[in-house]
Amino acid sequence: MRRSRTQTHERILDAAYGLFWRQGFLRVSMDEIAARAGITKRTLYQHFRSKDDLMAAALEHSGELAMQRMRMFHRPDKPLEMIETFFAELAAWAAKPHYSGGGFTRVAVELADLRGHPARAIARRHKTTVETWLAEGFAAGKVRAPRERAREVMLLMEGAMLLMLIHGDRGYAAAAAQAAATLIQSGRTRKSAR
């Protein structure tokens, strides 16, 4: 049975996505992606002009999946419950086999010297979306300066992801949750300093 163009495109994205997250964005070759997708390299290039285009498409695909998961995620009304749930989910993710940290963070690090790379823009957009999602939850929960608190929680999240990867210790998610709860509690009781 002959595959449709759409099916082939999806197979390529799935193959690239899996390889990029396991091996890193720069270490994976187009030959490996074609082999993993069960296609020829020529077919691969009929769908994507370059590895850069494929990286961008794989990140877009990943970002869409991540945002679908976030939309399905019940955001508790109470900010402290939101923090607890958010970091518990992060710890659960880190417990999965082959945890390799946040893919959007990893691609930004791998491409640190390529400021104009489209994958970096996609990573930035994804992180901004998550930060906005947090800020909206904090605003709904009447946390003062919700954008500032969201930015601080993002710092804690990124740090926890990296330290869990480095040390293999999910306790960093709990420590980050505790620090975030302290920030949220202080944000509910004091005016933010300007």
pLDDT in tens, 21-74: 888 888 999 999 999 999 999 999 999 999 999 999 998 888 888 878 777 776
Instruction: Please give the Cα distance from 123 to 108 (Å, whole number).
Output: 7
The token duo for 64 is 């869409």
User: Domain spanning 73-194: which CATH class is it, in words?
Assistant: mainly alpha
For the chain, residues classed under CATH 1.10.357.10 are 73-194
* Separation CA 95–CA 49 (nearest Å): 36
How many Å apart are CA 15 and CA 7, to the nearest integer?
12
Q: In which residue are the tokens 């949750």 written?
A: 177
In this predicted structure, what is the pLDDT of residue 142?
93
Assigned superfamily of 1-64: Homeodomain-like (1.10.10.60)
In this prediction, residue 172 carries a pLDDT of 98
User: Which residues of the chain does CATH 1.10.10.60 include?
Assistant: 1-64
The whole-number pLDDT of residue 79 equals: 93
Q: Which residues of the chain have pLDDT under 50?
A: 1, 189-194
